[in-house]
Amino acid sequence: MDIASQQEMICNKHDINLYMIKGEQDFFSLSFKLINQNYDLHQAIGFKLFSLLGELNKDVIDKIVLEPYSETDNNMKMGMVLKRFGAEFGISQKYVYSETEIHRTNNSYNFYSRQIDKADSFQIPKRCIPVKKSNGNLSLTFINDNEIDVVYEFSLVIEEDMPHMMRKLPGLLMKKIFIRLKTFLESLR
């Protein structure tokens, strides 16, 4: 059976498609077009995009810290503390510490992220624990200076014993984060 036949459309509101690929480890896929005829979107793309995600989503992300980097670097380490959700189900507050590698070509950027051990310098709240597993690929393909095809494929295992009814939560949280990013970037002048 191919991947496409295993995909389940979770949501397509706000012109962002969210699919879930169910399996032993669930994967999610977000896809959308980012269009702003009044702004060269190249100016917003790079590792700084991750800081912007944190700034736009303070109700979902407690904090996001990028280790020092330059825009010419090919990799960057980052820590992100999520707001606590699911406390009524006994779910602790979570964080992700990851390393992201960027591959650039003429018209595309691919950000490959994988979870790594937390750096000692990254401070987390008491009783905050790492997600069980996190990895992703953010692919940005420029159609022209004002239009980008965005695809984000990721796995985010928040809790191994997460209730079945919360299985779609990681995908829905990431969609909320990307809706805000899309809205912000499309409004720039």
Angle, alpha carbons 19-25-79 (nearest 5°)? 85
Tokens of 8: 């389940």
Matching CATH number, 3-187, of 3.30.1370.60, 3.30.530.20, 2.60.120.620, 3.20.20.70: 3.30.530.20
| Contact (CB, 8 A) for 38 and 21 | no
Q: How far is CA 149 from CA 105, 127, 139, in A?
A: 14, 39, 8
Q: What percent of the chain has pLDDT over 90?
A: 76
Please state the pTM of the whole predicted model. 0.90
Report domain extents, the chain: 3-187
Distance CA 55, CA 184 (A): 11
Tens digit of each residue's pLDDT (9 = 90 or more) over 6-56:
789 999 999 999 999 987 788 999 999 999 999 999 999 999 999 999 999
Answer yes or no: are the C-beta atoms of 34 and 26 closer than 8 Å.
no
CA 131 to chain centre: 14
